[in-house]
């Protein structure tokens, strides 16, 4: 009797799925998800580099020479990512300022979009043929990267422009995990099962 209970318990606690065993239609579906999300992330990285980071380096000397305490607001040294944010009108309550509304809209759009990507990737990570510990890290780390990335928006707008640079570690974290997920998934689905980790 005890042996039967142990067998039932082990069925539910030890679940070792494998992407390699999926049918061809499932593999094609996962591959298309990875390809399309990869294209989206590549375009986003390109936009950030061309629109935000390169102008930061080109205008770096000018921005470093500005005295932050003399600046009435952050718009002069905010960087290109927020150059569309209008100059604040004096006398408005904090929650009605353009910067606050912009930060809310930016966070709202990105938290749903980026989270959706990694919710879907997290579901697929469940089927990777790797240890449970690795799967947990591959699921958790991108969400930490998203939180860092979104926190940088708020800190940059309301604390100091130097928090612009927090976009880089946040983006690198979720970008690297996405790349690792994609490589592992494609290799395990389409590769030789005897060579999978």
Q: What is the DSSP string of the chain?
A: -HHHHHHHHHHHH-----GGGS-HHHHHHHHHHHHHHHHHHHHHHHHHIIIIIHHHHHTHHHHHHS-GGG-SSGGGGS-GGGTTSPPPPTT--GGGSHHHHHHHHHHHHHHHHHHHHHHHHHHHHTTSSS-HHHHHHHHHHHHHHHHHHHHHHHHHHHT-GGGGGGHHHHHHHHHHHHHHHHHHHHHHHHS-GGG--
Tens of pLDDT along 145-164?
999 998 998 899 889 989 98
Grade residue 25 by pLDDT with cuts at 50, 70 and 90: confident
Is the pLDDT at 144 greater than 90? The verdict is yes
pLDDT at position 90 is 63
Is the pLDDT at 88 greater than 60? The verdict is no
- Mean pLDDT for 92-120 is 82
pTM attached to this predicted model: 0.64
Least confident window among 7-11, 17-21, 169-173: 7-11
- Mean pLDDT for 33-56 is 76
pLDDT above 70: percentage of residues in the chain: 70
- Mean pLDDT for 114-130 is 90
Tens of pLDDT along 171-195?
999 999 999 999 999 999 988 776 6
């Amino acid at each position: 009797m005890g042996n039967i209970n142990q067998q039932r318990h082990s069925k539910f606690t030890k679940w070792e799925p494998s992407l390699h065993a999926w049918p061809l239609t499932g593999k094609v579906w996962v591959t298309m998800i990875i390809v399309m999300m990869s294209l989206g992330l590549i375009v986003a990285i390109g936009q950030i580099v061309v629109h935000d980071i390169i102008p930061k380096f080109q205008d770096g000397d000018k921005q470093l020479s500005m005295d932050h305490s003399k600046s009435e607001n952050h718009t002069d040294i905010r960087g290109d990512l927020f150059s569309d944010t209008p100059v604040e009108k004096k006398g408005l309550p904090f929650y009605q300022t353009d910067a606050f509304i912009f930060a809310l809209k930016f966070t709202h759009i990105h938290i749903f979009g980026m989270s959706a990507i990694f919710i879907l990737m997290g579901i697929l990570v469940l089927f990777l043929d790797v240890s449970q510990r690795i799967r947990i890290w591959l699921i958790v780390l991108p969400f930490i990267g998203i939180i860092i990335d979104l926190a940088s928006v708020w800190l940059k707008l309301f604390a100091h422009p130097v928090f612009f640079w927090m976009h880089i570690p946040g983006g690198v974290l979720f970008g690297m995990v996405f790349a690792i997920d994609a490589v592992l998934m494609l290799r395990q689905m389409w590769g030789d099962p005897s060579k999978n980790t």
